[in-house]
Amino acid sequence: HRDLKPGNIMLTKGGAKLLEFGLAKLQAADTPTNLSALPTEQANLTAEGTILGTLQYMAPEQLEAKEADSRTDIFAFGAVVYEMATGKKAFEGKSQASLIAAIMGQEPRPMAELQPMTPELMDWVVKRCLAKEPVERWQTATDLLAGLRKTTEVGTSVDSFPAAAGPPLWRRAMPWSLAGLIAIIAVVGFWILTPPTLQPLRKFVITPPASAPLASFLENGLAISPDGKRIVYLAPTASGGLLYVRSLDELIATPIAGTEGARGNHFFSPDGESVAFFTNDRKLKKVPLMGGTPITLLDTDQEGLTGSWAEGTIVFSQGPLGPGSRIDLYQVSAAGGEPESLAVPITEKGERRYFDPEILPGGKAVLFTIRLDDNSYQTAVLSLETGERKVLLEGGRQAHYAPTGHLVYELFGTGTLMAVPFDLRRLETAGDSVPILQGVRQTPNGWADYAFSGEGTLVYVPGGEGVERRLVWVDRQGKAEFLAAPPRPYDDPRLSPDGLKIALQVEVPDDAWIYDIARDTLSRLTFEGGNLPLWTPDGKWVTFAAGNPPNLFWKSSDGSEAEQRLRENEYVEWPQSWSPDGRALAFVSEHPTSGFDIWILTMEGDREAQPFLQTRFQEHSAVFSTDGHWLAYVSDESGQNEIYVQPFPGPGGKWQISSGGGTEPVWSASGELFFRSGDKMMAVEISTHPTFSPGKPSPLFEGQYGGTGGARAVRADYDITPDGQRFLMVQAQERDTGQINVILNWFEELKRLVPTDN
């Protein structure tokens, strides 16, 4: 056939039909004596040495214009099945040349990484179809059909196929139903895995209705009852969010009355009959699942983040959500009342926030997450009897205890669930951490969308590894055009002075990278931290924050000179903006009493730093005007973040530019000032002669752009071209399907992957 592709396959009531034989090669037997009986063959169409077919599905021998046979079609068949099962093409490229290079020299990603419910044996069968050398593929369609049938036989493993290598030994073969694979692509599928000696794993998918889809908010939107029978998920509404409950043995999700304005990170009562949730108006409420009036447990001026409910007590995290704010642990009666302080971050150890609390069985200890000043994470445990705190894990967050004797947590920034044996009596880990599940969706704030019940049912939202975002040009009308740079967890892009390169932060680990726009190359600049990279005005150096606590460094932009420390301080410092003449660097310093303050580092002489704004309010996001005579910044002195401008170096007055909220100011070369108001990009005409005179802010476009939110809190997460006509921004890459994956009897798999002494 030589042109097998989705466009040539039609699904009819009678089955799949293969169409379009324009490139088919007739295999003639012996030459007949009657010349008129010879098949008509066009040499220019089927001759060896001519590349024929559709590039995306062509086998390597086709690309090299070699002889094609039935094994060429088997390669194309594998590419079609791969695309059908994952929704992604097996081989991709930005150009024909890069696509050909991918087919000739690259292996496609495992299907299970893109669609976690893909049967492993199916992945293996397809990989054999896509072997580069024809001799390594299935040799006939009959062989291929036999391989496909094997995937449906209970107990079958890759060892059943002696002619080919199997998957890694640490992964157990998974005998799934082929019909189930097709069902998941269409709507909802059920699969049954029966490994020897283990209780059967049951896996299926829940797809929320279009009228109440799964929200993609900042917090975790998923919770499961202790008995594993019901899930509660967050759906988006005009007022923010609404909780829905669904029993696993039913097909309908029901809204929970009184949960309007929910924001996520909700949690069940011990009996599974009620759910507690935080609201957008800073309340903690509880409500019965089957109906009833919600009860407000807390009504404060601070934000509640996460909580846990056990035996009449709720432990929760709470604090202001501003830049550098402290988050503490509290406890309150499940009936309501005054909260009691439970634990406060130890600033001397670089601790910033406590959250993700979980009351451990017995009620004598609390598991929780620590966020440090350098934005790294630890999993710790607090004894409620002695007050002792103990760090259990580095780099992990959102940990939960499993009755199997494990801690399950997310390795921050990877979308990978890890497990480690845990001694509940001694409150200590008892072994090494092992990855147990990849591809869990992360919310924009970094929470992993997963939960499991006490009896062993795991629920999670698939979304791929890590948080990926795209670099995008956006014009003043809001028209977006993606750059060629591959999706990565980007933050804080900054154009070089000549506009040819981009300095940006790539998370996990947080390092500074340089993207060459013309050459389409992404190269790493720092290897031990590089937050908020910033070009010097001459383009020779890139400034960034690194260390613990983060301080100011710079490194030559071409990497020819090693990084150099600009400041050494006991407080956190973040680079903000260079003056146009390169003589002054504005930076933010975070002080324990005054919070975020704006300082100026003078680069001449002894490089002394002096405070520019040091008040009891939070000032940050400082940026010099293009003539260097003005400094725009963000302050919350009015009770919310607004944009202000002051003369530099002063003295002089102060002008409020925004009204109704404003963040992320950036100047253009023309003197125009831009800022963000929610998801809106705002523009303000500024006149400085004969006096400073700002115009009225006007919206340009609206869109959800920006990174994790952490960087946006202290500096603009976008840049502009000198003429102010295009904005360089980052946009989240849509990778999740909006579905909820469910695994029953998951503890059996957990015990197999991570044995304990219990």
Spatial contact of 552 and 567, defined as CB atoms under 8 Å apart: yes
> What is the pLDDT, as a whole number, of residue 733?
60
> What is the pLDDT, as a whole number, of residue 39?
38
Question: Mean of the pLDDT values across residues 275-280?
Answer: 90
> What is the pLDDT, as a whole number, of residue 737?
53
> What is the pLDDT, as a whole number, of residue 13?
64
Radius of gyration of the chain, Cα coordinates, nearest whole angstrom: 29
Whole-number Cα distances in Å, 433 to 112, 729, 750: 22, 37, 12
- Rounded Cα distance between 114 and 464, Å, is 7
- Rounded Cα distance between 374 and 547, Å, is 7
The greatest distance separating any two alpha carbons of the chain, rounded to the nearest whole angstrom, comes to 104
Which residues have a Cβ under 8 Å from the Cβ of 76 and sit 6 or more positions away?
1, 3, 4, 5, 53, 57, 58, 59
- Rounded Cα distance between 516 and 130, Å, is 33
Q: Which of 595, 646, 602 is CA-nearest to residue 616?
A: 595
> What is the pLDDT, as a whole number, of residue 165?
37
Which three-class secondary structure state does DSSP give residue 87?
coil
Spatial contact of 553 and 561, defined as CB atoms under 8 Å apart: no
Parallel, antiparallel or unpaired: strands 551-556 and 541-546: antiparallel
pLDDT in tens, 465-497: 445 688 999 999 999 999 988 888 788 999 999
Tokens in use for 300?
């404060």
Give the rounded percent of residues in the chain with a pLDDT score beyond 90: 45
pLDDT at 670 over 60: yes
| Lowest mean per-residue pLDDT among 31-45, 327-341, 477-491, 496-510 | 31-45
Polymer length in residues for the chain: 758
Parallel, antiparallel or unpaired: strands 389-394 and 531-535: unpaired
Whole-number Cα distances in Å, 686 to 477, 641, 676: 20, 20, 16
Which three-class secondary structure state does DSSP give residue 135?
helix
Which residues have a Cβ under 8 Å from the Cβ of 417 and sit 6 or more positions away?
408, 409, 410, 411, 435, 436, 437, 438, 440, 448, 450, 460
Handedness of CA 714, 718, 722, 724 (dihedral sign): negative
Residue 239, phi then psi, degrees to nearest 5: -90, 0
Specify the DSSP element, H or E, that contains 111: helix 111-114
- Rounded Cα distance between 114 and 118, Å, is 9
pLDDT at 183 over 80: no
- Rounded Cα distance between 106 and 623, Å, is 44
Question: Mean of the pLDDT values across residues 317-326?
Answer: 72
> What is the pLDDT, as a whole number, of residue 55?
81
What are the E-state strand segments in 236-334?
Answer: 242-247, 254-255, 267-268, 274-278, 283-288, 295-299, 303-310, 313-319, 328-333
Which residues have a Cβ under 8 Å from the Cβ of 373 and sit 6 or more positions away?
350, 351, 352, 548, 549, 550, 572
Burial (0-12, 13-18, 19+ Cβ within 10 Å), 690: exposed
pLDDT in tens, 535-573: 999 999 999 998 878 899 999 999 888 899 999 888 889
- Rounded Cα distance between 98 and 520, Å, is 12
Residue 734, phi then psi, degrees to nearest 5: -70, 115
Chain centroid to CA 634: how far?
27
> What is the pLDDT, as a whole number, of residue 501?
96
| 494 bridge partner residues | 503
Handedness of CA 43, 47, 51, 55 (dihedral sign): positive
pLDDT in tens, 615-646: 989 999 999 999 999 999 999 999 889 999 99
pLDDT in tens, 152-167: 664 455 555 544 433 3
Which residues have a Cβ under 8 Å from the Cβ of 487 and sit 6 or more positions away?
468, 469, 470, 733
Cis previous bond, 649, omega within 30: yes
> What is the pLDDT, as a whole number, of residue 177?
37
pLDDT in tens, 413-465: 778 899 999 999 999 999 999 999 888 887 766 678 899 999 999 999 887 54
> What is the pLDDT, as a whole number, of residue 50?
40
Q: What angle do CA 535, 539, 545 make, to 5 degrees?
A: 25
Question: Mean of the pLDDT values across residues 291-302?
Answer: 84
Tokens in use for 125?
């069968």
For the entire predicted model, the pTM comes to 0.52
Q: What angle do CA 478, 484, 490 make, to 5 degrees?
A: 75
